[in-house]
Amino acid sequence: MAESSRSKPLTRENVQKAHELIKQYVHLTPVLTCTTIDSVASTPRSPEALKGTQWEGQTPAKPKFRFFFKCENYQKIGAFKARGAFHALTQLSDEELARGVVTHSSGNHAQALALAARTKGITAHIVMPTISTPSKIAGTKGYGANVLFSGSTSEEREAVVVDVIKKTGAILVPPYDHPDIILGQGTMALELEQQAKDLLAMSHISVNRDQKQTLDAVIAPLGGGGMLSGVATALQGTGIRVFGAEPSFEGANDGQLGLAAGKRIPSVKTLTIADGLRTPVGEIPWIVISDKSKVKGVYSVTEEHIKAAMKLVLERMKVFVEPSAVVGLAVCMFDEDFRRIAEREGGEGGWNMGVVLSGGNTTVEAIGKLFQTSTAQAERAEGVVGKDGEKVAENVAG
């Protein structure tokens, strides 16, 4: 890939330029609202639901949310990654493109680069972990890419990439750790900002004509950090707060842990159900994410929290998403530290909250398997549904 020194600086203006370059190749994905989910997330959790957590014995937070869901699951290849992949290829010379491209990815960037390469008429070599979701492997092959397999860690993936480059001379297009990728991913935030403004101008969305007619905050999933750092770059100077969301399982919350330790964690090995977020934060995204003026904080949630949020989106919004996509919503619903910030800073009017639904690359079979073990018990423990399968407001609220 082009050397970072050749890339444009990470500024809002350059995200806007990236958007002009790629909008012919990507979808303008919809922004949806859901009053049911607003109500669920805006209701305080019960003291019982906080038992056994770090918030046990504390008064539950009382935030008010109006959510604006940026549905990147409707993006080409089913995820936001198409934005960064297409932008990266626009920055390569004809000579570089002729050599073909290579990357490593668990699935979404793999499919994105495969599609972008096919669109440009060039070869793509994609290194995928053997544990990648079968539908993502099939999708990548379906776009005509040469798929090779590796172990699940970033080190194992990168070793195969090095071998491919030696043999073919292909140009590396990394999944997240490059300015060209970051600028491309940030284009979704420009769209979300304007789409939310348009929706808030409609009287049936705004419960109070005097309330702020723009977003107050945006939360996005954090894996390698290309999307979160892109969103933060795009919204720089707008006054919109930006937050990151991670799974906590087996140290997948390396961004949160790294911020607490004051240094980036370079390696992660986790089998969280949010498979798109199993990678460590990249070096370049870390520079943005660790800057408090750009990203206000990173929060994490359990596997059961992710399942509960996913169930709400599937059943209440009728939107098909993968686990990684709902981690931001899960933070808004279940992380009391984050909810207290929203309560304090949102005040009586609450927050207009942008939530990135990053992708939908999963299958009915995978979702069924995800929920088949002790589903009812887990849901009742989280206070999301009652015995009859319907939401019980008192339980969600406390």
Q: Are residues 134 and 62 in the same domain?
A: no
Does residue 20 register a pLDDT over 70?
yes
Report the pLDDT value the prediction gives residue 132, as an integer from 0 to 100: 82
Residue 287 covered by a domain: yes
Phi, psi (degrees; rounded to nearest 5) at 123 = -85, 140
- Distance between CA 14 and CA 36 in Å, rounded? 37
- For the residues 318-347, what does the mean pLDDT come to? 97
Question: 371 CB contacts (<8 Å, ≥6 apart)?
Answer: 307, 311
Report the pLDDT value the prediction gives residue 303, as an integer from 0 to 100: 97
Among residues 396, 35, 81, which one has the least CA distance to residue 204? 35
Q: Are residues 148 and 171 in the same domain?
A: yes
Q: Are residues 277 and 232 in the same domain?
A: yes
Of 144, 177, 210, the one marking the end of a domain is 177
Q: Are residues 191 and 151 in the same domain?
A: no
Phi, psi (degrees; rounded to nearest 5) at 346 = -80, -25
Of 177, 207, 230, the one marking the end of a domain is 177
Residue 392 covered by a domain: no
Residue 396 covered by a domain: no
Residue 4 covered by a domain: no
Report the pLDDT value the prediction gives residue 203, as an integer from 0 to 100: 58
Does residue 144 register a pLDDT over 70?
yes
Residues facing residue 356 across a β-bridge: 70
Domain range enclosing 43:
12-78+181-384
Question: 305 CB contacts (<8 Å, ≥6 apart)?
Answer: 330, 333, 334, 382
Report the pLDDT value the prediction gives residue 7, as an integer from 0 to 100: 84
Among residues 218, 326, 336, which one has the least CA distance to residue 272? 326
Report the pLDDT value the prediction gives residue 153, as an integer from 0 to 100: 75
Does residue 154 register a pLDDT over 90?
no
Which position has the token pair 């980036």?
A: 264
Q: Are residues 313 and 337 in the same domain?
A: yes
Among residues 305, 314, 176, 321, which one has the least CA distance to residue 248? 305
Does residue 394 register a pLDDT over 80?
no
Q: Residues 285, 225: contact at Cβ < 8 Å?
A: yes
Residue 253 covered by a domain: yes
- For the residues 217-243, what does the mean pLDDT come to? 97
Q: Are residues 89 and 141 in the same domain?
A: yes
Q: Are residues 253 and 366 in the same domain?
A: yes
Report the pLDDT value the prediction gives residue 376, as an integer from 0 to 100: 47
As a whole number, the mean pLDDT across the chain is 90
Among residues 226, 248, 356, which one has the least CA distance to residue 298? 248
Does residue 393 register a pLDDT over 60?
no
213 falls in which pLDDT band (50, 70, 90)? confident
- For the residues 149-178, what does the mean pLDDT come to? 91
CATH of the domain at 86: 3.40.50.1100
Report the pLDDT value the prediction gives residue 351, as an integer from 0 to 100: 97
Q: Are residues 163 and 293 in the same domain?
A: no
Q: Are residues 370 and 225 in the same domain?
A: yes
- For the residues 200-220, what does the mean pLDDT come to? 75
Q: How many alpha carbons fall within 13 Å on the CB side of residue 314?
A: 18
Specify the 3-state DSSP secondary structure of 338.
Answer: helix
Question: Is 81 among the catalytic positions?
Answer: yes
Residue 375 covered by a domain: yes
Question: Is 166 among the catalytic positions?
Answer: no
- Distance between CA 299 and CA 152 in Å, rounded? 24
- Distance between CA 124 and CA 103 in Å, rounded? 8
Of 154, 177, 200, the one marking the end of a domain is 177
Structure-model confidence comparison of residues 167 and 375, the more confident one: 167
Percent of all residues in the chain with a pLDDT value above 70, rounded to a whole number: 90
Question: Based on the structure, what is the number of domains in the chain?
Answer: 2
Residue 24 covered by a domain: yes
pLDDT in tens, 265-306: 999 989 999 988 998 999 999 999 999 999 999 999 999 999
Does residue 206 register a pLDDT over 90?
no
Q: Are residues 252 and 284 in the same domain?
A: yes
Q: Are residues 192 and 233 in the same domain?
A: yes
Given 106, 150, 154, 324, which residue is catalytic?
106
Among residues 110, 357, 113, 341, which one has the least CA distance to residue 227? 357
Structure-model confidence comparison of residues 209 and 75, the more confident one: 75
pLDDT in tens, 34-67: 999 999 999 999 999 999 999 999 999 999 999 9
Q: Residues 381, 304: contact at Cβ < 8 Å?
A: yes
Q: Are residues 142 and 248 in the same domain?
A: no
Given 81, 294, 307, 311, which residue is catalytic?
81
Residue 336 covered by a domain: yes
